[in-house]
Chains A and B, each alone.
Chain A
Amino acid sequence: MSVNNEFQPTIVAFCCNWCSYAGADLSGTNRLQYPANVKIIRIPCSCRLNPMFILRAFQRGADGVILCGCHPGDCHYTTGNYYARRRMTLLFSMLDYLGIERDRTRVEWVSAAEGAKFAATMNDFAATIHKLGPNRRLEDLRCRKD
C-alpha cells in the first residue's frame, strides 16, 4: 500500500526470455514508462509457465498476472507458445468458471522489437487491475497485507 492509501495493485508479469523479456528491456531502453507495480519474472519460454505459478502469485497477494511470450510462430523453441496458449486458455477458462474475474489474467504476445507494445500492454493491464480492485476471490487470507 502506498502512502496515500490508494490501492496499489501487485502485478506479476512472466516474460519469456527471448521475446518479451527483450521487449521489456527495449521499452526500458526507449524510456517508455509503465507502472512500477509491474514486476517481471524471466522464464525461458511461455511454455515454462506452470499454472501453479499463477495461482501462487494470487495466493501471495498478486492482483493480476500476465504472461508475455513470443508471437505464435516465433517461439524460440518453435512450439512453446502454442502449448502455452492452450494451457492458458483452459486455465483462464477454469478460473473464470470458478468465478475469478476474467481480467485478472492475461496473455499477450510481445516480440523483442515491441518495446512500445510491452509498455502499452503493461499500462493497460495495470489500469484494468486498478479498476478491478484488490484480488479477493483467489487470495490466501493469511497472506493479506492490510
Chain B
Amino acid sequence: MKKIAISKLNDLFSAISKEKVLYIPADDGANQARFTPWQEGLTLTDKLNTVRSAKDLFFPQVENLVNFKNSGKAIQIIENRTEPQPFVLFGVRACDCRSFDILDRVFLSDPVDTFYKTRREQGVVITLACNRPTETCFCGVFGIDGADPQGDVTCWMDEAALYWRANTEKGEALTAALPMLTDCAEEAIDPIAAKIRSILSKLPLNDLDLTGFNRDRMMELFNSPQWEDLSQSCLGCGTCTFVCPTCQCYDVQDFDDGQQVRRFRCWDSCMFSDFTMMAHGTNRPTQKERFRQRFMHKLSYFPNNNDGIFGCVGCGRCLQKCPIHMHIVKVAKALKEDLK
C-alpha cells in the first residue's frame, strides 16, 4: 500500500503522463464528467462517474479497421491501423472496472478481437473507490464492491490523501515508476472502506433480486407477456446502449471518401430499428423484440454463456439517462414477478 497527499495529486498525474497518456475523469463544461487526457491544470471531477463509460478507451465509438482501394477489377487492401500508445486510465469506478471483464469475455474469446486486445494490453486501469455512491447505484447486486474495486491499481481517497494499491504486474510496474508514492499501512484505507460500505448498505436499489434469471428460465422470460407493456414507451434510441459500460454491439460500415473505401467499426444498438434489417426484412420487427433483446441479453443470454455473470454492472447510467426512464431495474423487477 502506498499513499500520496491530495495536494501532491498534480505531481502524480504529471509523473504518470510523462510516460503514458493519462486519462482522468474531469468536468467537460457541460455539467458532466468524461475521461479526458490529463494536462497541466486539469483536475478530478466531483461527479461520481462519467456519463460515457470507461469502455470508450478500449472500444471506441468509431475505429478504422482497414482501407481499400478499388481500381477496375482490382482491389487493394490497405492495412493502416495505428497501434494504440500505452495509456493509463485513472479513476475508474468499480462498476466500470467489472465491465472490462464482461467486454473481455466477448472480445478476447476466440476469435480474438485484436483491436480491443491491443488496447487492453496497452491500458493500465487505476480504479477509485466510490466515496459517494448515489441512489442509482446497484453494483452490489452483481457482487461488485464499490469500496474495493479491482483493476491494475486500486485507489482510495479521503480529504488528505490518495491511497494506492497495485494489484497486477502492470500496476506494480507503474507504481515502481512513481517515486512520489510513499509506503503506508494496509489498514489506512479501512475507515474509508467502512464508510463507503455503510452507505452502500443503504442504497435504495439493494433490494433488486436477480436470482432465478438462469438458463432454465430463459424461455419463460423470453415469452413473458410483460414485454409488451415494458417496451411500449421505449423510444428506440441508443442512449442506454451508448452510455452502458457493457454494451458492445457494433456495426461495420464502409465509407467511400472518393479515393479509398474506409471500413470502420462503430457502436450500434440493438434498440435501433435497422439493427437486424436484411434485404428481405428483419427478425425483430417491432420495438418490443428489440427491447426484449437488449434486456434478455444482459439478464439471460450473457449469463447463460458466461458462468452466470450478468451483462450489467449496476452503474446506473441508463437509470439517469434514459429519456423515458424505462431502465434495467424496472425491467428486472417486472420480470422477477414472472419468475415467482
Binding site for B on A (CB under 8 A): 60-61, 140, 142-143, 145
A37 to B262, CA, bound (A): 27
B132 to chain A, nearest CB (A): 38
Map CB proximity to A onto B245-263 as digits: 1 under 8 Å, 0 otherwise.
0000000000101110010
B294 to chain A, nearest CB (A): 30
B232 to chain A, nearest CB (A): 33
Q: Which of B255, B257, B259, B262: most chain A Cβ within 10 A? A: B257
Closest to A60 in B: B258
Interface residue total, chain B, C-beta cutoff 8 A: 5
A145 to B258, CA, bound (A): 9
Binding site for A on B (CB under 8 A): 255, 257-259, 262
Contact of B255 among A61, A142, A145 (CB under 8 A): A142
Closest to B255 in A: A142
- Can you spell out 10 A-B residue pairs with CB atoms less than 8 angstroms apart? A60-B258, A61-B258, A140-B257, A142-B255, A142-B257, A142-B262, A143-B257, A143-B258, A145-B258, A145-B259
Total A-B pairs, Cβ < 8 A: 10
A17 to B262, CA, bound (A): 35
Question: Which residues on the A side are within 8 Å of B255 (C-beta)?
Answer: 142
A106 to chain B, nearest CB (A): 24
A87 to B262, CA, bound (A): 33
A61 to B257, CA, bound (A): 10
Question: Which residues on the B side are within 8 Å of A143 (C-beta)?
Answer: 257-258
A31 to B90, CA, bound (A): 67
A35 to chain B, nearest CB (A): 21
Question: Which residues on the A side are within 8 Å of B258 (C-beta)?
Answer: 60-61, 143, 145
B64 to chain A, nearest CB (A): 9
Question: Which residues on the A side are within 8 Å of B262 (C-beta)?
Answer: 142
A60 to B259, CA, bound (A): 11
B87 to chain A, nearest CB (A): 23
A140 to B259, CA, bound (A): 13
Question: Which residues on the B side are within 8 Å of A145 (C-beta)?
Answer: 258-259
A143 to B256, CA, bound (A): 9
Closest to A145 in B: B259
Q: Which of A140, A142, A143: most chain B Cβ within 10 A? A: A142
A142 to B262, CA, bound (A): 9
A140 to B262, CA, bound (A): 13
- Starting from the known contacts A143-B258, A145-B259, 8 additional A-B residue pairs (CB-CB under 8 Å) come to A60-B258, A61-B258, A140-B257, A142-B255, A142-B257, A142-B262, A143-B257, A145-B258
A142 to B264, CA, bound (A): 12
A61 to B255, CA, bound (A): 15
A130 to chain B, nearest CB (A): 22
Question: Which residues on the A side are within 8 Å of B257 (C-beta)?
Answer: 140, 142-143
Question: Which residues on the B side are within 8 Å of A60 (C-beta)?
Answer: 258
Question: Which residues on the B side are within 8 Å of A61 (C-beta)?
Answer: 258
Question: Which residues on the A side are within 8 Å of B259 (C-beta)?
Answer: 145
Question: Which residues on the B side are within 8 Å of A142 (C-beta)?
Answer: 255, 257, 262
Question: Which residues on the B side are within 8 Å of A140 (C-beta)?
Answer: 257
Closest to A142 in B: B257
A140 to chain B, nearest CB (A): 8
